[in-house]
Chain A
Amino acid sequence: MRKTNLAMAFSYEQAMILDSAKAFCSDKSTIAAVRNLLDGETGFNPQVWQEMVALGWTGIAIPEEYGGLNLGVGALVPLAETMGRHLLGTPLISSALTAQAILRSGTESQRAAWLPALADGAAGALALLDNEDWGGDFSGCTVSGSGDNLTLTGRKLMVADGAVADLFVVSASHAGQPVLVLVEAKQLPAGALESKTLIDETKRACNVDFSGVTVTSSALLTPSASTLHELRLIGALLTAAEATGTAAAALDLIVSYLTTRVQFGRLIGSYQALKHPTVEILLQMDAARSLIYHAATLIGDGPIDSDTEIACRMAKAQATEALLFAGDRAVQFHGGMGFTYDCDAQLYIRRAQWAQHQYGDAQHHRRKLADLLLD
């Protein structure tokens, strides 16, 4: 019988980040501001990004010796949740994951070369996907050659924030071994970036063709057998946190409509057909929130143990299911208005489709959880 880990802690620093993130995001990322950015090229306001850098948020999980705050991945969770609640789109999550890749598998000189830059607001992106399957372990992207004459071949799909990234961490195979390669944006040949049309217009992603990029051995990170696995779990957790925040925003939108819209002479929130599923959204969001902060409690800078893996996967499975449900009902409960582009429900239902697939959908994580919990 497995002993269930139920640890839950929230530090003073995490509480501070949550508070300032709430104040910042509600001020800088109003729905009007979000809508203004929908058809923009980058999907975020560079001035807002610079303010986030100035607040130290890009260095939250980077050690102090590299210019960060050294608060760990757990401290990114309240920030990601709050960004999700206000649909604040910036490369923060992508950059934080890039920093984790370098922190966890970089040499001292690689860390020194890149972590201070990332803490200082350089944008990073993880290039992991070879096809639509987040569960795949093998990379079709290859590194050929030896020593300091290495050449990449292959294309990576749906690289979040790829168009603004200064630095990519690319999963590839080299002499049959999985490797992670650091590639600077300036090394990419012309036309390497192909931006994708996403269902979620607040997010940006592109396919990146790394074929022909040449690097030296100093660009090869030295991942352990579990590094890629760990990066995916951290990605799943941060996406789960963001999705939980967005589910709460969808809930807020529904509640505000249900408490103001009158039909058949009554506020529609008085109808149990709408009230009860709205309560269900609250409960689903609450469950997701408990699970993300449990995972945030367990996760550290070191290797990820099985309790932490279970926590991250549960968080991702629950948060994305909660947001799928909340976004779907947000559209439906707005009736005819919900079918229009002007209704904000569309922002949430579209985000839900993006969030469910980032770092693996709920079914993928449940399949992994079954192996962890039932065998």
Chain B
Amino acid sequence: MTIANAPKELPEHAEFRKEIAAWLRANTPADPGFLLPQTFMEVGSDQVLDFLREWQFKVWSAGYLGMAWPKQYGGQGAAPIYQSIVDQEMKRLRVPICFNVIGLGWAGPLILDIGSDIEKEKYLKGILNADDIWAQGFSEPNHGSDLGSIQTRAERDGDDYVINGSKIWTTMGNYAKYMILLARTDPQAERRYNGLSFFLAPMKTAGITTQPIKKLTGEYGFTETFFTDARIPANCIMGDEGQGWRIAMKTLQYERGAEAGAAGGISILSIAMNDLLNMAQDIERDGQPLLKDPITRDNLVKFLIEEQALYLAEQRGAIPALTRDYPNSIALSGKLRGTEFFRRMRQYALTLQGANGALYVGDSEATDGGFWQRAYLNNFSTTIGGGTSQVQANIIGEHVLGLPKD
């Protein structure tokens, strides 16, 4: 008798998998002739934006995005398994990403969960059809991962809140219509976390300006966002004043994948071990593929073991008997394990390229057009963003192992 297992695919699910795969094959746009982003943090030009917006709209129009969200808000009211199948096939077939991720993955599920009917009506459909791009305003200059130190002020004045301060690492800040904004409403609060409030802030507001940030990779995709006496309607607040920290933590649960509810769609291009193995097969050293070199082989197998364990973790996490001593270990460590694995694996790809490892996007002889160089450098957005790996290690040390705070 089995009490937990990898779910077997039912006939209707297998049928649906065929349907979506066929649709994706028929509808994936041709190579546009410019570099498409590997992640949603790389939407750096109008050209890219227009392309992705059109693609997301097409996916949603066909009924393949937000499938588990209610029909009245633009979803399909379907079982979550269907969206999972779509996402798996999107990943497998390497179609372009569904770029409106802050909306689809974080703000959307949050609004669905704790938003009012009016808020659901107002925001959810625009998230799905890509009319309304969403940004996140949590991190601030000088204390990215330490959200408790947020300085941006929100002062109540009549029917408005007046916002002053600045946010940084605003993904698509220059394109966003709305921002999930964490700001300080009570600087006197005894505990600094209790002074924070959470807003669904309109970005096209006088006093809100954005400044694009040129990334490590030389591309754009983030802005710094400045608030100078920006007035937003008081009803933009989610929950009550002082509940911002709790709501932000809930949002981070969606971001970290620890809580379900996201609309779906892939937000990053999958770059897995098979891609690295293919590269190692194509590169020759001493007249044979690098894949035959014993040292390379040992390193590749180490990565393969790590990748296999990453994939298995989720399944073991679903079996309570096998997680009893550290019940939240797998959920809380997912980001650290995954992002650090990919960082090291992508760096190793550059190492294997020999002298070509030093070439970059734009050079005609760069391996795969500089795909791995870009992938490696961009990967730091995942080991730094959403709480650096070092902060993640603190969280795991303190919340899983019970070690004292520093």
- Which residues of A come within 8 Å of B, CB atoms? 1, 4, 6-15, 18-19, 248, 251, 255, 258-259, 266-267, 269-272, 275-276, 278-280, 282-283, 286-291, 293-294, 314, 317-318, 363, 366-367, 369-370, 373-374
Contacts and interface: CB of A to CB of B under 8 A. Distances in A.
B277 A374 contact: yes
B305 to A, nearest CB: 5
Interface residues of B, number: 48
B399 to A, nearest CB: 11
A349 B294 CA distance: 29
A270 B305 CA distance: 31
A280 B392 CA distance: 11
A279 B329 CA distance: 10
A267 B298 CA distance: 39
B402 interface: yes
B268 interface: no
B406 A272 contact: yes
Given A270-B404, A291-B309, A366 B302 contact: yes
Contacts of B297: 366-367, 370, 374
B305 A8 contact: no
Contacts of A9: 2, 4-6
A317 B302 CA distance: 9
B24 interface: no
B282 interface: no
B308 A314 contact: yes
A290 B5 contact: no
Contact of A291 (B1, B302, B305, B396): B305
B85 to A, nearest CB: 16
Residue in A290, A291, A293, A367 whose Cβ sees the most chain B Cβ within 10 Å: A290
A258 B333 contact: no
B68 to A, nearest CB: 23
Contacts of A283: 333, 336-337, 396
Given A287-B309, A370-B301, A8 B406 contact: no
Contacts of B336: 279, 283
B322 A293 contact: yes
Across the A-B interface, the 6 shortest Cβ-Cβ residue pairs: A287-B309, A290-B312, A8-B315, A269-B403, A370-B297, A9-B5
Given A287-B309, A289-B316, A291-B308, A10 B291 contact: no
Given A272-B394, A275-B397, A6 B312 contact: yes
B330 interface: yes
Contacts of B406: 270-272, 275
Given A366-B298, A366-B302, A15 B321 contact: yes
Contacts, number: 156
B312 A276 contact: no
A255 B294 CA distance: 38
Contacts of A282: 326, 329, 333, 396, 400-401
Contacts of A14: 321
A137 to B, nearest CB: 19
Contacts of B397: 269, 275-276, 278-279
A282 B328 CA distance: 12
Given A291-B305, A291-B308, A314-B308, A279 B393 contact: yes
Contact of B403 (A259, A289, A369): A259
B321 A18 contact: yes
A205 B315 CA distance: 37
Contact of A11 (B3, B337, B401): B3
Contacts of B330: 286
B312 A270 contact: no
Interface in B352-406: 390, 393-394, 396-397, 400-406
A12 B6 contact: no
Contacts of A293: 312, 316, 319, 322
A286 B300 contact: no
A294 to B, nearest CB: 5
Contacts of A248: 325
Interface of B: 1-6, 274, 277, 291, 294, 297-298, 300-302, 304-306, 308-313, 315-316, 319, 321-322, 325-326, 329-330, 333, 336-337, 390, 393-394, 396-397, 400-406
B333 A10 contact: no
B405 A290 contact: no
B272 to A, nearest CB: 9
Contact of B3 (A10, A269, A275): A10
B401 A255 contact: yes
B209 to A, nearest CB: 37
24 contacts: A6-B312, A10-B4, A12-B2, A15-B3, A18-B321, A266-B404, A269-B397, A270-B404, A272-B390, A282-B333, A283-B337, A291-B305, A291-B308, A318-B309, A366-B298, A366-B302, A366-B305, A367-B297, A367-B298, A369-B301, A369-B305, A370-B297, A370-B300, A373-B304
A5 B336 CA distance: 23
Contacts of A280: 393
A99 B340 CA distance: 43
B282 to A, nearest CB: 14
Residue in A288, A294, A370 whose Cβ sees the most chain B Cβ within 10 Å: A370
Given A12-B3, A287-B313, A293-B316, A4 B308 contact: yes
Contacts of B306: 287
Contacts of B402: 255, 259
Contacts of B274: 1
Contact of A10 (B309, B321, B394, B401): B321
A270 B321 CA distance: 30
Contacts of A275: 393-394, 397, 403, 406
Contacts of B305: 287, 291, 314, 317-318, 366, 369
A259 B402 CA distance: 8
A290 B319 CA distance: 11
A134 to B, nearest CB: 17
Residue in B274, B319, B336 whose Cβ sees the most chain A Cβ within 10 Å: B319
A221 to B, nearest CB: 33
A12 B4 CA distance: 9
A272 B402 CA distance: 14
Contacts of A269: 397, 403-404
Contacts of A294: 308, 312, 315-316
Contacts of A276: 390, 393, 397
B301 A8 contact: no
Given A6-B311, A279-B401, 13 more contacts: A7-B5, A9-B6, A11-B2, A255-B403, A259-B404, A282-B401, A286-B329, A287-B306, A294-B312, A367-B298, A370-B300, A374-B277, A374-B300
Nearest to B397: A275
Nearest to B306: A287
Given A286-B313, A314-B305, A369-B304, A278 B401 contact: yes
A291 B312 contact: yes
